[in-house]
Amino acid sequence: MTALLDTARYAAANAQVHALYTRMIDPFLWRRLLDAPDVPTLAALLQQAGIGHDDGVRGEDVDAASLERRLWTRLATLAWKPARLLNGNARDLLQWYWRRFELDNLKTILRAVHYGKAWSTVAPILIDLAGHSALPWHTLAEAGSVSALIDRLPDGSYARALDHARERYQREQSLFVLEAALDLMYSRRLQKLIEALHGRDRREADAYLGFQLDAQTLLWAYRFRDYAHLSPEEILNYTLHQGLRVDAEVVRAIALGAPLAATVHTVWGDRLLDAAVAEAPESGDPLAALELACMRHVVGQATHARGGYPLHLGTLLAFLVLLQAETQDLIAIIEGCAVGWPPARIRPYLVEAWE
CATH of the domain at 108: 1.20.1690
The answer to whether 211 touches 297, Cβ cutoff 8 Å, is: yes
Between the alpha carbon of residue 205 and those of residues 214, 301, 323, the distances in Å are 13, 12, 17
Q: Which pLDDT band, with edges at 50, 70 and 90, does 307 fall under? A: low
Q: What pLDDT sits at residue 56?
A: 43
Residue 264 lies in a domain: no
Q: What pLDDT sits at residue 4?
A: 41
Between the alpha carbon of residue 288 and those of residues 42, 139, 222, 253, 267, the distances in Å are 26, 36, 11, 20, 18
Q: Which residues pair with 247 in a beta bridge?
A: 242
Same structural domain for residues 110 and 184?
yes
Same structural domain for residues 107 and 192?
yes
Q: Which pLDDT band, with edges at 50, 70 and 90, does 61 fall under? A: low
Q: What pLDDT sits at residue 58?
A: 54
Same structural domain for residues 74 and 164?
no
What is the C-alpha separation between 17 and 274, in angstroms, rounded?
A: 33
pLDDT in tens, 86-113: 788 999 999 999 999 999 999 999 999 9
Q: What pLDDT sits at residue 313?
A: 87
pLDDT in tens, 191-212: 999 999 999 999 999 999 999 9
Residue 278 lies in a domain: no
Same structural domain for residues 189 and 94?
yes
Residue 53 lies in a domain: yes
Q: What pLDDT sits at residue 204?
A: 94
Same structural domain for residues 185 and 95?
yes
Question: Is residue 225 helix, strand or coil?
Answer: helix
* CATH number, residue 39: 1.10.132
Residue 271, pLDDT above cutoff 50: yes
Q: Which pLDDT band, with edges at 50, 70 and 90, does 5 fall under? A: very low
Q: What pLDDT sits at residue 12?
A: 72
The answer to whether 35 touches 333, Cβ cutoff 8 Å, is: no
Same structural domain for residues 76 and 94?
no
More confident residue, 276 or 291: 291
Q: What pLDDT sits at residue 270?
A: 82
Which of 136, 167, 196 lies at the terminal end of a domain, its last residue? 196
Q: Which pLDDT band, with edges at 50, 70 and 90, does 82 fall under? A: confident
Name which of 296, 270, 300 is nearest 348 in CA terms.
Answer: 296
Same structural domain for residues 325 and 302?
yes
Which of 180, 196, 212 lies at the terminal end of a domain, its last residue? 196
Same structural domain for residues 61 and 93?
no
More confident residue, 285 or 142: 142
Residue 258 lies in a domain: no
Q: Please tell me the least confidently modeled range out of 41-55, 66-80, 213-227, 293-307.
A: 41-55
Q: What pLDDT sits at residue 175?
A: 96
Residue 248 lies in a domain: no
Residue 218 lies in a domain: no
Same structural domain for residues 6 and 65?
yes
Q: Which pLDDT band, with edges at 50, 70 and 90, does 294 fall under? A: very high
Q: What pLDDT sits at residue 102?
A: 97
Contacts of 339 (CB under 8 A, 6+ apart): none
Total number of domains in the chain? 2
Q: What pLDDT sits at residue 305?
A: 80
Same structural domain for residues 109 and 162?
yes
The mean pLDDT of 244-257, rounded to a whole number, is 96
Residue 164 lies in a domain: yes
Same structural domain for residues 98 and 127?
yes
Residue 277, pLDDT above cutoff 80: no
Which of 196, 215, 242 lies at the terminal end of a domain, its last residue? 196
Residue 242, pLDDT above cutoff 80: yes
Residue 206 lies in a domain: no
What is the C-alpha separation between 143 and 274, in angstroms, rounded?
A: 49
Q: Which domain range does residue 342 map to?
A: 1-80+294-355
Residue 57, pLDDT above cutoff 80: no
Classify residue 341 by burial, with Cβ atoms within 10 Å: 0-12, 13-18, 19+: middle
The mean pLDDT of 138-165, rounded to a whole number, is 96
Same structural domain for residues 76 and 96?
no
What is the chain's mean pLDDT, rounded? 89
